[in-house]
Amino acid sequence: MGRKLKLGATLCAALLAGSAFGAQAAAPAGGAPAGPPRQPAPKQLQLVKDNIYRANNGNWWSLVVVTKDGIIIADPINPTHAAWLKNELATRFPGKPVKYVIYSHSHWDHIEGGAVFADTAQFVAQEGVLKNLDGRYPHMPGDMIDRNNDGQIELEDIMVPTNAHPGICGMSEAFFKGKDKDGDGKITPGDFYDRVPKPTITYSERMTLTLGGETLQLIFPGKNHADDGTVIYFPAEKVVYSTDFPADALVGQSMRSLPSACGAFDEHPMSEWIKSYKTIEALDFDILAQGHGAVMFKKQDVTEGREYFEYLRDQVSGAMSKGMSLDEMRRTLMLEPYKGWAFYERLRVMNIEAAYNNLRTYK
């Protein structure tokens, strides 16, 4: 993966705050010290619309679609959550096996629980997921890149971004040690993914999946937080589901939150991010049910996110064209229209740094 984007800013505070691997609450906007660990939200099977549900593990959400011929799940999250969900579905919908498990993208914190459903399900994903699970260093969130290009994950790969932006990028040392089973200071890609079922059905740009009279479309929106993401679209119900984009794990009640930007926007061009927003905007939907966020969102939320990216791009590229240094941009680009957004005080400068490095890298 290389070292090409070293000054990136933010990913997901909640990777440290509420994931399967961390319990410590992230520091709040403005950089104040973190308080005591937050209690995870009680598990629930939340109705989205008709036969579509979400099931949560803290601020991580699976999607559940119940049909007359079986069940479709997107994002099994982790084994503990998947086991709870399997039991919950068997109790509430007896006689309906899980026929398909869809991976929204390859990042481990959303798909590790897949094996729980391997007795009945086929696994579906965008074709890039197979590449990320093939034993090479995968695309990783949080600026956790292969810093010495040895194909393995070392403590430095995790802790450099963590120490640079605590509570925002990277992961904890405890997380690393939990994965480094033999204590040799290295984690192979297989340590992450050997127990994750690989997709048996893949697609490139778009695919239609039908089960028990329910039709859904799988759409690759472009590269954003991940390089192998899937947006799930239910045209009849006018519902969309996706994960980590456009709502990252910082998002709770409102999408008006400065975006995560570790690794200068996860090593993907800002133009790809904007394209991804537009792909979702082009769909005819009323409800955006995300893999993060406690509430449902609307198309207007997607539009506002895309407008922020365009504004940030224009502000930074305009300053670059004037010969302004990055230090000058940090001091003078105040992103005024977004002062009221969550994490503004903490992430304004980090977003500017990410945009600057992104625009220098991707011409």
What is the mean pLDDT of the segment spanning 276-290?
98
Distance, in Å, from the CA atom of 308 to the CA atom of 274, rounded to the nearest integer, reads 10
Label residue 219 left, alpha or beta by phi (over 0 means left) and psi (-120 to 50 means alpha): beta
> pLDDT of 105-148, one tens digit each?
999 999 999 999 999 999 999 999 999 999 999 999 999 999 99
The per-residue pLDDT of the chain, averaged, comes to 89
Q: What is the pLDDT of residue 182?
A: 87
CATH number of 13-256+272-299: 3.60.15.10
Distance, in Å, from the CA atom of 300 to the CA atom of 313, rounded to the nearest integer, reads 20
Tokens matching residue 236: 């009849």
What band does 4 get if pLDDT is binned at 50, 70 and 90? very low
Distance, in Å, from the CA atom of 112 to the CA atom of 76, rounded to the nearest integer, reads 7
What letters, b where the CB count within 10 A reaches 16 and e where it falls short, cover 136-145? ebbbbbbbbb
Residue 23 has pLDDT above 80, yes or no: no
Q: What separation in angstroms does the CA of 48 have from each of 217, 263, 300?
A: 17, 33, 18
> pLDDT of 156-209, one tens digit each?
999 999 999 888 899 999 989 988 988 999 999 988 898 999 999 999 999 999
Determine what percent of the chain falls in helix, strand and coil, rounding each to the nearest 5: 35, 20, 45
Tokens matching residue 41: 């939200």
pTM given for the model? 0.89
